[in-house]
Amino acid sequence: MTDHSDSQSGTTRRDVLRASMMAGAAASLWPASMALATSPHHDAIRAAALANREADIARIQDWIRLPSIAAENLNMPDGAEYMAEMIREVGFTDVEIVATDGHPGVFGLMDNGAERTLGIYFMYDVKQFDPSEWRSHPIEAHIVEVDGFGRAIMGRGAVNQKGPEATFLAALRAMRDAGVAPPVNLVFVAEGEEEIASPNFHQILARPHIRDAFARAEGVFMPSASQGANGEVTVNLGAKGAVELEIVSSGESWGRGPTHDIHSSLNPIVDSPAWRLVNALNTLTTDMGNRPAVDGWYENVRALTDRERALAVGWARRADETALMSALGVSHWVDDMDFEDAIVRLAQEPSINIQGLVGGYTGPGGKTILPHRAVAKIDLRLVPNQTREEAERKLRAHLDAAGYPDIEVNVSGGYGPTETAEDSRLIQSQLAAYSALGVETAINPRVAGSWPGVTFTAPPLSKPAGHFGMGYGTGAHAPNEYFVIEPTREGIAGITDATMSYVEMLYQLASAA
């Protein structure tokens, strides 16, 4: 996932962050009848999964050893080929590498003669890494012991997203080896640019034969190790959209400031692009950055429904506010609001965040320059019914109207918000699967983080979309990323139980009302 996860390492913080992004209710709110579902052929498939266990683990390790990093143009064609071969091996047909203006995607079909079809979304790329920060080399994918959790594969992509994805493929392999056809047809798509905000993913889905294949699906999911440290899983009904961009003030564009760094003593007679950036940024938000002030930003923002608000409040009431504050290192929510209001606000509000400021001299001490260029790295978080196009257009118009037509807005990637109906067959069968597996479940009306689910949920496809899967891991985007394969902690699924969770989900979807 792009950024559901913390950029810092540490189990506790990721767990709390996960919690901070959801606002849900216990699975026990859901029909008890669903909790009784069991998948056919369970014992045979499980036996096959157990027989495949070592090979399945080795496959995850092998995949990690081929890191594809779009930002560094590392192993991209090889990564796509590897992805294609992985799905061929478990029975997908019509597998193709799909070119884009950026790095290629992968498409495939599996017609199981079933009534219903499920869409599957993978990423084959991983986040950058610095081996010096890791206790175990990030692409050697060693099996390590993680205190309190058990044996895990440690490496870049272990949990984000190769481990869970390969575990889903292990489920298909187990069914094949058990002689059981999956109960739904599958359509598969993978991209290699998820970690750079999926700038070209829409091009893959725009291919008519791919779009038509997904149009037949009940919904789409991405495999995910969705369990928290306490074993609870979250089912998300949506996610905010995210747009990553740089706001750039430069003498070159402005025509007033210098075109190169000059001596700082000239500030009285040469206009400063750095000051201009500060002035322009200052118009973008109010309330100390907590509320977007871009003209028309809230025009299409819809308020949370009563149900969504209730889910958020329900989650807040069950959560440990003190632990969350401690993990984040904060002592007040914005405006000193109480926790329930904060969790509702987290789901409700769009935001304009400063990720970074960089301009002029950034080293130790000072340097007497007047910089010709300064940049703010920004991410916009969008809520329904905002769109990426709207956000970019309004930001540009706001800067123009505020007198900053020269200030550049360089968007590197992004997408609008994802929304999926709670009563959709995809969500109901996910809840039913977790219930059948005896897993505590919370429903999150809207993740504050983002993934490109909108590519499926927006027209023309307009499909339900989300994540699914048991298992546990942490360290996405951080050092020491791992995916637990043999847990010692109660309630956490190991690789075989996680494999079986996908089997369960396929059967639930096949049989859902």
Q: Which of residues 186-225 bind its own copies (CB under 8 A)?
A: 196-197
Nearer to its own copies, 136 or 326 (CB): 326
The residue from 164, 359, 469, 479 that contacts its own copies (CB under 8 A) is 359
Q: Measuring CA to CA, how many Å separate 328 from each of 6, 13, 320, 350, 475?
A: 11, 7, 13, 20, 16
Measure the N-to-C terminal CA separation of the chain; round to a whole number of Å: 30
Give me the least distance between CB of 320 and its own copies, in Å please. 15
Contacts of 383 (CB under 8 A, 6+ apart): 240, 241, 301, 302, 348, 349, 350, 417, 446
Give me the least distance between CB of 364 and its own copies, in Å please. 7
Nearer to its own copies, 53 or 388 (CB): 388
Residue 255 within binding range of its own copies, rule CB under 8 A = yes
Nearer to its own copies, 6 or 308 (CB): 6
The residue from 86, 174, 187, 370 that contacts its own copies (CB under 8 A) is 370
Nearer to its own copies, 64 or 312 (CB): 312
Which of 379, 382, 377, 353 lies closest to 288 in space, CA to CA?
353
The residue from 177, 261, 390, 392 that contacts its own copies (CB under 8 A) is 261
**Edge-to-edge strands of the sheet including 408-415?**
373-382, 241-250, 408-415
Residue 253 within binding range of its own copies, rule CB under 8 A = no
The residue from 47, 99, 181, 369 that contacts its own copies (CB under 8 A) is 369
Piece of the chain touching its own copies by CB under 8 A; list 97-105, 299-307, 338-346, 390-398: 338-346
Residue 342 within binding range of its own copies, rule CB under 8 A = yes
Beta bridge partners of 220: 119, 465
Give me the least distance between CB of 171 and its own copies, in Å please. 30
Q: Would you give the DSSP letter of residue 46?
A: H
The residue from 259, 300, 488, 511 that contacts its own copies (CB under 8 A) is 259
Residue 321 within binding range of its own copies, rule CB under 8 A = no
Q: Please list the alpha-helical segments (H only) found in 133-267.
A: 163-177, 201-205, 208-215, 251-254
Question: For strand 441-444 and strand 241-250, is the pairing parallel, antiparallel, or unpaired?
Answer: unpaired
Q: Measuring CA to CA, how many Å separate 39 from each of 181, 477, 511?
A: 13, 35, 10
Q: Please list the alpha-helical segments (H only) found in 37-101.
A: 42-64, 76-89
Give me the least distance between CB of 47 and its own copies, in Å please. 41
The residue from 251, 384, 469, 471 that contacts its own copies (CB under 8 A) is 251
Residue 333 within binding range of its own copies, rule CB under 8 A = yes
Burial status of residue 208 (CB atoms within 10 A of its CB: 0-12, 13-18, 19 or more): exposed
Give me the least distance between CB of 279 and its own copies, in Å please. 6
Give me the least distance between CB of 265 and its own copies, in Å please. 4
Residue 277 within binding range of its own copies, rule CB under 8 A = yes
Site size for its own copies (CB under 8 A): 94
Cβ 154 vs Cβ 476: under 8 Å: no
The residue from 101, 147, 288, 459 that contacts its own copies (CB under 8 A) is 288
Nearer to its own copies, 97 or 328 (CB): 328
Q: What is the DSSP string of 364-402?
A: SS---EE-SEEEEEEEEEE-TT--HHHHHHHHHHHHHHT
Handedness of CA 301, 194, 108, 466 (dihedral sign): negative
Give me the least distance between CB of 334 and its own copies, in Å please. 6
Give me the least distance between CB of 21 and its own copies, in Å please. 6
Phi, psi of 282 (to 5 degrees): -60, -20
